[in-house]
Amino acid sequence: MKGKKKQYAVRLLALFALCFLIPWHPSALAADDISIRYILQGMEDIKPVNQTHYLVVQSPDSHLWGAFDTSGRQLIDFRFENLAYGGYGCFITSNSTDPLDNWRALVSRDGSFVSEARYGLFKFYNYKWAAGWVVSAAKKTDYDYTPDKKKYYYIDRCDLFYLGDTPRLAGSLSREEFVQAAVHGDYLSVEDRTGNITVYDRDFQPAELQVSSVSDAVYGLRNYTLIDRVTGEALMDGLTGVKEINNGRGLIFQVTQTGFNGAKKTGICTADGEWLMPLSGYGVKTVSRDYAVVTQNKLQGLYSFDRGRLILPCEYSSISTSSQTVDPYVFNGCACGVKDGMKCFVNIETGETVISVPDKSKSISIAGATVYRQTSKNHYEVISPSGKTWRFQDKKMGTTRGDGRLLVIRDVIYNLKGVYNMNGKVVLDIKYRTAPLITDDGYVILRTQREGVHLLEITW
């Protein structure tokens, strides 16, 4: 009899312990139909490029590097000893990590060489212009460029590359001919060491345009008409103000129209006259590739160019961005603004605030639109934009990038890691010593001791 009571007590204790391991939210108990697909398998190494879909990958056979996107499409063959992402779809390869060796070359995303391997550093001005610099050592008291206030360089020669549809070398400048440059659409303004400024077109031909600073606009107003000051071409009329903006879409303009009563309207358009944001009474604070942060009555909202409407009304003291997702403003169907000291995640289709938490709290961490917070010692809570809340004990959220659909979770007792989805379901068991890595577009890089490095797509 005593033995049966002992067995009953052990089973009851095991059941009680199990209750702490299962998420408390009833809907979290329903099984998700989780699917795991191997996109890349058994690689020697996989390095994601933040805020892009690119991956730099090392072959397990040749140990050389190539490039993929997260769909598994190989962009650059395994043929480089060193490969890194430069910017705007271009990569940099080198046989040396020291810029003073001047062994770096520019490679386009299709694997073709844009330049020879003769540069120490590259600078990307925007998606159309980049510079390759041949450098030599300089002193702290006399230098042309420093990336970190620790190393100092002279720029002995500057080669300028036009990165349009087919990246190519546009022209070369000596040290005396180059101090700094600024981009204006297809045009590039360059200052030399005497203070003279030359405006070059995409073929690197000097334009007959006098400017006093590299930041001076190449596009401007003449008789209320927006014109290309180099060619004189009229682009749009009836305007009283214009501001050049270079972003991922190319050259766009923030324009102003003032009525007879003094009322101002502001809009955003392309060089072809297409309205990204029609003239309206909103002010414009910042502009990115796909969005504008707009203002009205000292409050901020978010305008989507693709949707042609406000996805956050002008009700917020500030609009939040993420540096850990491909889209900096919208993640997992939500945009985020701060109102009355609360960080509000708003579903952009319904306008419903799905999560509201204190803006500044040491107990709160955020991955995309999923909130993780400590409720008491060793007890944690996750709130997802799907409407589910779940809790666990002795497990912390590890470094998690992406939109919050997947979370890296670490067992604080055994220091093992795994992956949960935002609904509280285990998608990769907590058994890995090396933490899985979530890419900014929501894929998983899994490092194993025996089988190499994998890229996984996890859906449910």
The reply to whether 155 and 100 lie within a common domain is yes
How far is CA 159 from its chain centroid? 27
The reply to whether 193 and 221 lie within a common domain is no
Q: Which residues, in sequence order, are bridge partners of residue 278?
A: none
Contacts of 238 (CB under 8 A, 6+ apart): 224, 225, 257
How do residues 160-185 score in pLDDT, each as one tens digit? 999 988 899 999 999 999 999 999 98
Cβ-contact 371, 357 below 8 angstroms = yes
User: Which band of pLDDT confidence, cut at 50, 70 and 90, is reported for residue 92?
Assistant: very high
In the block, residue with structure tokens 């990569």: 91
The reply to whether 87 and 196 lie within a common domain is yes
Per-residue confidence (pLDDT) for residue 6, from 0 to 100? 54
Pairing of strands 426-432, 437-438: unpaired
438 found inside a domain: no
Q: Which helix (H) or strand (E) holds 2?
A: helix 2-21
How do residues 4-42 score in pLDDT, each as one tens digit? 555 555 454 544 444 444 343 333 333 468 999 999 999
Per-residue confidence (pLDDT) for residue 29, from 0 to 100? 35
How do residues 312-345 score in pLDDT, each as one tens digit? 999 999 999 999 999 999 999 999 999 999 999 9
Per-residue confidence (pLDDT) for residue 5, from 0 to 100? 52
Per-residue confidence (pLDDT) for residue 19, from 0 to 100? 44
Of 372, 423, 424, the residue nearest 400 (C-alpha): 372
Give the chain's length: 460
Per-residue confidence (pLDDT) for residue 313, from 0 to 100? 97
pLDDT at 1 over 80: no
E strands along 259-405, which residues? 264-270, 275-280, 283-287, 291-296, 299-304, 309-316, 318-319, 334-339, 342-347, 353-358, 364-367, 370-376, 379-383, 389-393, 395-397
How do residues 342-375 score in pLDDT, each as one tens digit? 999 999 999 999 999 999 888 899 999 999 998 8
The reply to whether 151 and 194 lie within a common domain is yes
Cβ-contact 160, 171 below 8 angstroms = yes
The reply to whether 154 and 236 lie within a common domain is no
388 found inside a domain: no
66 found inside a domain: no
418 found inside a domain: no
Residue at a domain's end among 315, 332, 361: 315
The reply to whether 207 and 104 lie within a common domain is yes
Q: In terms of C-beta density within 10 A (0-12 exposed, 13-18 middle, 19 or more buried), how is residue 143 classed?
A: middle
Regarding pTM above 0.75, the answer is: yes
180 found inside a domain: yes
Per-residue confidence (pLDDT) for residue 272, from 0 to 100? 82
CA gap 387, 444 in Å, rounded: 24
Per-residue confidence (pLDDT) for residue 250, from 0 to 100? 79
Q: Which residues, in sequence order, are bridge partners of residue 274?
A: none
The reply to whether 308 and 234 lie within a common domain is yes
Q: Provide the residue range defining the domain that includes 152.
A: 82-211
The reply to whether 96 and 205 lie within a common domain is yes
The reply to whether 131 and 234 lie within a common domain is no
Per-residue confidence (pLDDT) for residue 9, from 0 to 100? 53
Pairing of strands 104-108, 291-296: unpaired
206 found inside a domain: yes
430 found inside a domain: no
The reply to whether 90 and 196 lie within a common domain is yes
CA gap 368, 364 in Å, rounded: 13
The reply to whether 184 and 244 lie within a common domain is no
Residue at a domain's end among 177, 211, 245: 211
How do residues 53-84 score in pLDDT, each as one tens digit? 999 999 999 999 999 999 999 999 999 999 99
Exposure b/e, 349-368, CB count within 10 A at least 16 = b: eeeeebbeeebeeeebbbbb
255 found inside a domain: yes
Average pLDDT over every residue of 440-453: 95
Taking the CB of residue 381, how many other CB atoms lie within 10 A of it?
18
How do residues 234-280 score in pLDDT, each as one tens digit? 988 899 999 998 877 778 999 999 988 888 999 999 988 899 999 99
Per-residue confidence (pLDDT) for residue 195, from 0 to 100? 95
The reply to whether 237 and 186 lie within a common domain is no
Residue at a domain's end among 166, 196, 211: 211
Cβ-contact 340, 66 below 8 angstroms = no
* Exposure on the CB side of residue 384, measured as CA atoms within 13 A: 20
Domains of the chain: total = 2
User: Which band of pLDDT confidence, cut at 50, 70 and 90, is reported for residue 3?
Assistant: low
